[in-house]
Amino acid sequence: MKPNSISLFSFSILLSLFLLHIQCSSTSRSEREYASRNSGDEYEESKVSSGVSSSPKSEGKPQENKSPKRMMIYTVVVNLQSKEIEPKVLEIIKLAETFGGYALQYSSQGTIQLKIPQENLKNFLSNLKKESHNYSEDVSAKDVTEDYLDTEIRLENAQKMRTRLLEILKTAKTLEETLKVEAELNKVSESIERWEGKLKYLSQAVQLSTVTVHVRQKWEPVVQKEYQPGPVGYPFYWLYLGLGKVKDGFIWLFIQEVPKEK
């Protein structure tokens, strides 16, 4: 076997063992993180790469298990009524801007989609309710804490793998070795970009709540005004009333039964 072939074979074995070690380390760490968040059990992270055992727990000093802050994505649907739709739509958009929000889209038919900072969501809805008629709201929330922490772990492991691959790339001696390491680097870099994008999306979704407002036309009954005749119309008005009385008299005279004497 040629020296170059032996070197390439040794390098391939080394790279395979390294990737296997990273994968096992990532799986073990994810399991430990999950166990710590859900059960609160204490654990010590083993140092596999250095071969050094972890330090023993200090007796008499209980370790504090702080639960992570819950990350919630809020979605709100509001229905209300107004005499005029378009002025009310503009009024709601201005109200959202006073609370640090903005309008994603809106229409003259009365549908508005807003983004409101989560810390101002309660005050915004409270003010909107005070200034609206027939107000109703539907609030839903989604907990993304576990998804966010899992993505953070994956991103950290990918960044460590990229650092290690860059170190291996410096020691590559042949073109084939260089190409193999660069191929792995491209895969890891794509993973890092994907995890970073997901973390950014989750952070923005948590910080800005989505509020959809539907404005409907307020129905008001039509009030009929009583007829008020003018000076010339009074004779005709009294004639109209008199004819009505005459009609009632004829109806009573020919149709109404005469009460029987007891």
Span 235-256, pLDDT tens digits: 766 667 777 777 777 676 666 5
Answering whether pTM is above 0.85, one says no
- Look at the alpha carbons of 63, 64, 70, 71 in this order and tell me if their dihedral is positive or negative: negative
Predicted local confidence at residue 52, as pLDDT: 36
Predicted local confidence at residue 243, as pLDDT: 72
Pick the CATH number of 72-142 from 3.30.70, 3.30.300, 3.20.20, 2.40.50: 3.30.70
Half-sphere exposure for 111 (CA within 13 Å, toward CB):
3
Position 60 confidence tier, pLDDT thresholds 50, 70, 90: very low
Q: What is the overall mean pLDDT for the chain? A: 76
Domain spans, the chain: 72-142, 145-207
The 10 Å CB-count burial string (b at 16+, else e) for 90-109 is ebbbebbeebebebeebeee
Measured CA to CA, the distance from residue 88 to residue 85 in angstroms comes to: 5
Q: Would the pLDDT of 211 be above 50? A: yes
Pick the range with the lowest mean pLDDT from 120-124, 134-138, 228-232.
228-232
What order do you get walking across the sheet with 72-82 strand by strand? 102-106, 111-117, 208-217, 72-82, 133-143
